Amino acid sequence: MGMTITEKILAAHAKKKKVEPGELIIANIDIALGNDITAPLAIQEFESLGLKKVFNPGRICLVPDHFTPNKDIKSAEQVKILRDFAKKYKIKNYFEIGQMGVEHALLPEKGIVCPGDLIIGADSHTCTYGALGAFSTGVGSTDLASVMAIGKLWFKVPESIKFVYKGKLRKWVSGKDLILYTIGLIGVDGALYQSMEFTGPVIEKLSMDNRFSMANMAIEAGAKNGIFIPDDITLEYIKNRVQRPYKFYNSDKDAKYSKIHEIDVNNIEPQVAFPHLPENAKGVSKAGKISLDQVVIGSCTNGRMEDLRIAAKILKNRKVSSNLRLIVIPATQNIYMQAMKEGLIEIFINAGAAVSTPTCGPCLGGHMGILAKGEKALATTNRNFVGRMGSPESEVYLAGPAIAAASAILGRISSPEDLT
């Protein structure tokens, strides 16, 4: 019996010829990540051990992005913990204001994460890097502390579910729509502690930005990781970015899967996930005309260049509804700069949007767009749990950038087709 791509990566990092689902292994870590919420606790645990050095100062990444720019004294103190630790242990990959971005957009952009890597991060959406053909997963802060010390961590090898996407994507349908549809199909625990392997003719043509969006939300189906087989599109993306050795893995033809889902995309329209779970997805034509108070375009799910281009295409020469506020957040400084060069920022501002420096802020109800009691928001983010963006009596709807932009113009959940 062959192995899946996930099993091959775990086997290689555990220095084993073969691993099987359910097996417990100790594996070497390539990259360890922490942010301004999760890293301070990890640093506290690390320091309590009395250690004098980290396992590799070039393989640890600290990115304060959740409450930055600092919203209050507490968040400023959290970031100072990271800054002091990075200085003390000569952490190479420390990115703060002016250099930082939303962590899961920043690390691939800088070529820090590579195909074939084993990556852990004290953030649940670390699964994003599976888009590159890496095994990446979220862990707790104490796990991060352990990895910073010894560069290893234990894992239970997950079973794999294969998703095969066939057909032709309809206009305005993106990777965000595919993953929302998939989560709606299997539920928020449908891939619990399993690997979601995304394959098929549709996936083979999908851009990296769309692949990042899909891998990012694997955790919303309960998955241990989401992963794509790396190909020429991956190779083009990492060219001139990645400066260290990497390896393309694939899945054997006789690899074993717990389930295989074949999905015909021909009839999938842009999706909207209703409160209060990502699995509450339905086509936009069935969403009804729900009035909105806020629209957010950004986050580690949909704050990349393709997302901003789609939004700008719809917003150009149009105005945001006077009944709501539109917040646009480029995911990194480079994306912000490129959007400026292409005139996208001007389009957003002329339309009536507020454009922010990179931050996770509104996605987790941190700052830069908190919802009041009774307010409704549509966001290109990844979670819509109760109170996720503010008041527990607010509501969050999830969608891709096309639906977000059209909804911002009309003041209600809408499709770009409604603008004609």
Q: Do the Cβ atoms of 35 and 125 come closer than 8 Å?
A: no
Residue with tokens 């009395």: 50
What would the pLDDT profile of 24-77 be if each residue is shown by its tens digit? 999 999 999 999 999 999 999 999 988 889 999 999 999 999 998 888 999 999
Cis (ω within 30 of 0) for the bond into 13?
no
What would the pLDDT profile of 277-299 be if each residue is shown by its tens digit? 999 999 999 998 899 999 999 99
Q: Which two tokens stand for residue 30?
A: 């390539």
Q: Which two tokens stand for residue 20?
A: 């099987």
Q: Do the Cβ atoms of 19 and 12 come closer than 8 Å?
A: no
Q: Of 162, 232, 235, give the one whose Cα is nearest residue 5.
A: 162
Give the number of other Cβ atoms within 10 Å of residue 73's Cβ.
8
Query: What's the CA gap between 147 and 150, in Å, rounded?
Result: 5
Q: What is the pLDDT of residue 261?
A: 98
Q: Which two tokens stand for residue 252?
A: 């054997």
Q: What is the pLDDT of residue 98?
A: 86
Q: What is the pLDDT of residue 365?
A: 84
Supply the mean pLDDT for the chain. 95
Helix (H) or strand (E) holding 163: strand 159-166
DSSP category for residue 370: P
Query: What's the CA gap between 84 and 105, in Å, rounded?
Result: 24
pLDDT of 126 > 90? The answer is yes
CATH 3.30.499.10 domain extents, the chain: 5-263, 273-415
Q: What is the pLDDT of residue 289?
A: 86
What would the pLDDT profile of 339-348 be if each residue is shown by its tens digit? 999 999 999 9
Q: Of 232, 266, 240, 292, give the one whose Cα is nearest residue 414.
A: 292
The mean pLDDT value for 229-242 works out to 96
- Greatest CA separation for the chain: 65
Q: Look at 6 and 368; give whichever has higher pLDDT.
A: 6
Q: What is the pLDDT of residue 207?
A: 97
Query: What's the CA gap between 285 and 274, in Å, rounded?
Result: 13
Which architecture, in CATH terms, is 273-415?
A: 2-Layer Sandwich (3.30)
Q: Which two tokens stand for residue 43?
A: 């640093």
For residue 384, the SS3 value is coil
Q: Of 355, 354, 353, 390, give the one whose Cα is nearest residue 375.
A: 390
For residue 147, the SS3 value is helix
Q: What is the pLDDT of residue 153?
A: 97
Q: Do the Cβ atoms of 30 and 117 come closer than 8 Å?
A: yes
Lowest-pLDDT range of 10-19, 261-270, 356-365, 388-397 = 356-365
Q: Do the Cβ atoms of 326 and 352 come closer than 8 Å?
A: yes
| Sheet with 281-283, edge to edge strand ranges | 281-283, 271-273, 395-398, 376-379, 294-297, 325-328, 354-355
Domain 5-263 has CATH 3.30.499.10: yes
Query: What's the CA gap between 299 and 66, in Å, rounded?
Result: 10
What would the pLDDT profile of 161-199 be if each residue is shown by its tens digit? 999 999 999 999 999 999 999 999 999 999 999 999 999
Q: Look at 8 and 69; give whichever has higher pLDDT.
A: 8
Name beta bridge partners: 318.
none
Q: What is the pTM of this model?
A: 0.94
Q: Do the Cβ atoms of 313 and 417 come closer than 8 Å?
A: no
Q: Which two tokens stand for residue 379?
A: 């966001």
Q: Which two tokens stand for residue 331?
A: 């995911």
Q: What is the pLDDT of residue 288?
A: 86
Q: What is the pLDDT of residue 361?
A: 85
Query: What's the CA gap between 102 and 115, in Å, rounded?
Result: 20
pLDDT of 362 > 90? The answer is no
What would the pLDDT profile of 363-384 be if each residue is shown by its tens digit? 888 888 999 999 999 999 999 9
The mean pLDDT value for 13-22 works out to 97
Q: Which two tokens stand for residue 17?
A: 């010829």
Residue 61 identity? C
